[in-house]
């Protein structure tokens, strides 16, 4: 008696005799491979869905972290500007005091020039502080920062403000050295 075994494969029916072992094994292996491939495909889609669903908040967190870092940099810049303003204010007051105290006309003129220069630095620092505050407000505006070009330009502007901040700090250090020299060379 001959027994037939039917194995379905994508709509195709393989029929083979019980004794036709090679044909039957090939058909069974194909069916097993297809089931394995289908399970693998379903598992891959499932894992990709989990990864994508999990990664969306991560991307949002990265944007939030980047925005937080930018805000911290702006706060540091504003703190630095405040310190520079205080240093400049102290120096300007000292120069005003030196103008009043100086007996030598030439020294009085030099102290007065330094005093006026210090006043202008204070005004410039005040403008820089206002600019940094406006920049910070723009960074906080989510609608504004959604546009990638706008975000890139804001980062560029923040970098330029940081460079200006460093240049201003160097200017104040130079002014402090000049002030020290003026005091040291002041005739008694």
In order along its 188 residues, the chain shows pLDDT tens digits of 444 455 554 444 445 555 455 555 556 666 566 666 667 667 667 666 665 555 544 444 566 677 778 788 888 989 999 999 999 999 999 999 999 998 889 989 999 999 999 999 999 999 999 988 888 888 888 888 788 888 888 888 888 988 999 999 999 999 999 989 988 887 65
Give the pLDDT confidence score for residue 57 in this predicted structure.
47
pLDDT tens digits, 15-31 = 555 545 555 555 666 65
Give the pLDDT confidence score for residue 58 in this predicted structure.
46
Tokens of 86: 């205080």
Eight-class DSSP state of 3: -
User: Residue 111 and residue 187: Cα distance in Å, rounded?
Assistant: 13
Give the pLDDT confidence score for residue 94 in this predicted structure.
92
Tokens of 112: 């007065």
3-state secondary structure (DSSP) of residue 179: helix
Quick count: other Cβ atoms within 10 Å of Cβ 41? 10
User: Residue 111 and residue 183: Cα distance in Å, rounded?
Assistant: 9
- For β-strands 12-17 and 4-9, DSSP reports them as antiparallel
Give the pLDDT confidence score for residue 51 in this predicted structure.
58
Q: What's the pTM value of the predicted model, to 2 decimals?
A: 0.61
Give φ, ψ of 7 to 5 degrees: -125, 125
User: Residue 88 and residue 120: Cα distance in Å, rounded?
Assistant: 10
Give the pLDDT confidence score for residue 114 in this predicted structure.
92
Place of tokens 């949002």: 60
Give the pLDDT confidence score for residue 140 in this predicted structure.
83
| Total domain count, the chain | 1
Print the domain residue range for 82: 4-184
Give the pLDDT confidence score for residue 127 in this predicted structure.
92
């Amino acid at each position: 008696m001959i027994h037939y075994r039917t194995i379905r494969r994508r709509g195709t029916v393989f029929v083979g005799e019980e004794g036709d072992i090679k044909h039957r094994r090939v058909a069974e292996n194909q069916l097993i491979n297809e089931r394995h491939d289908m399970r693998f495909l379903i598992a891959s889609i499932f894992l990709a869905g989990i990864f994508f669903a999990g990664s969306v908040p991560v991307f949002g967190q990265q944007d939030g972290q980047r925005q937080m870092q930018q805000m911290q940099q702006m706060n540091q810049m504003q703190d630095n500007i405040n310190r520079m303003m205080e240093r400049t204010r102290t120096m300007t007051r000292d120069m005003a005091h030196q103008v009043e105290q100086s007996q030598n006309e030439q020294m009085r003129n030099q102290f007065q020039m330094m005093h006026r220069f210090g006043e202008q630095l204070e005004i410039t620092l005040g403008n820089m502080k206002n600019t940094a505050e406006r920049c910070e407000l723009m960074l906080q505006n989510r609608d504004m920062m959604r546009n990638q070009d706008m975000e890139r330009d804001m980062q560029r502007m923040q970098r330029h403000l940081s460079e200006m901040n460093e240049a201003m700090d160097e200017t104040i250090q130079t002014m402090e050295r000049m002030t020290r020299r003026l005091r040291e060379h002041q005739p008694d």
